[in-house]
Amino acid sequence: MFDEMMVDTLYQYLINQGSPKSKEVLLDEHNNRADKHDNILLSVDTQCDWLREIGYDDVDCFFFKCFELAIFAGRKK
């Protein structure tokens, strides 16, 4: 679902910019991008735990969660 959402959003953006790329081409480019195999994500909980381990407090995902994307933070004394 995330890949479809990304491609749909990019496709709409490119249509507005006058790009002739099809959804199929965009999906192929997205699925075969150079960083795909290196971009292995762990859960927000795991990443929040890492922040706690290095001294951050009040760590949470306060702002944004959408499929594999999240913005999380904490505060450091």
pLDDT over threshold 80, residue 40: no
Give the residue numbers spanning the domain of 1: 1-37
Confidence of residue 65 (pLDDT cuts 50, 70, 90): confident
Q: Would you list the DSSP string of 2-70?
A: HHHHHHHHHHHHHHHHT----HHHHHHHHHT-TTTTT-----HHHHHHHHHHTTEEEEEEEEEEETTEE
Looking at the fold, whether 27 and 46 belong to one and the same domain comes out as no
Rg (CA), the chain: 17
Question: ∠64-2-4 over CA atoms, to 5°?
Answer: 135
Confidence of residue 22 (pLDDT cuts 50, 70, 90): very high
Looking at the fold, whether 1 and 21 belong to one and the same domain comes out as yes
Domain count, the chain: 2
Beta bridge partners of 56: 76
Is the whole model's pTM more than 0.75, yes or no? no
Looking at the fold, whether 8 and 27 belong to one and the same domain comes out as yes
Looking at the fold, whether 52 and 73 belong to one and the same domain comes out as yes
Looking at the fold, whether 57 and 74 belong to one and the same domain comes out as yes
DSSP state of 77: -
Looking at the fold, whether 25 and 54 belong to one and the same domain comes out as no
Looking at the fold, whether 49 and 77 belong to one and the same domain comes out as yes
